[in-house]
Chains A and B, each alone.
Chain A
Amino acid sequence: MIRVQAENFDVGAEINALSQGNTAIGGICSFVGLVRDFQHTKEDTNRVSAMTLEHYPGMTEKKLVEIEQIARKRWDLEDVLIIHRYGRMEPGENIVLVVTASAHRKVAFESCEFLMDFLKTKAPFWKLEEDDTGAGSWVDAREADNTAALKWKDQSV
Chain B
Amino acid sequence: MKILYFAWLRTKIGCAEEEIELPNTVQTVGEVLDYLRSKGGAYADSLGDDKVIRVALNQEYAQQDDKVSNADEFAIFPPVTGG
Contact = CB atoms under 8 A, between A and B. Distances in A.
A26 to B, nearest CB: 27
Contacts of B59: 56, 58-59, 62
B83 A56 contact: no
A15 interface: no
A56 B82 contact: no
Contacts of B61: 122
A50 to B, nearest CB: 15
A30 to B, nearest CB: 14
Contact of B81 (A59, A62, A139): A139
Contacts of B78: 126, 138, 141
Interface string A111-143: 000001001111111111000000000111110
Interface residues of A, number: 28
Given A56-B56, A125-B83, A141-B78, 5 more contacts: A54-B6, A95-B83, A119-B82, A140-B81, A142-B81
Interface residues of B, number: 18
A108 interface: no
B75 to A, nearest CB: 6
Q: Which secondary structure dominates where chain A touches chain B?
A: mixed
Contact of B82 (A123, A138, A140): A123
A154 B61 CA distance: 22
A124 B76 CA distance: 11
A33 B82 CA distance: 10
A84 B82 contact: yes
A55 B81 contact: no
A124 B83 contact: no
The 8 A-B residue pairs with the shortest CB-CB distance, nearest first, are A125-B82, A141-B79, A126-B7, A59-B59, A120-B83, A139-B81, A138-B8, A127-B81
Given A62-B59, A124-B6, A138-B7, A55 B82 contact: yes
A73 to B, nearest CB: 19
B24 to A, nearest CB: 28
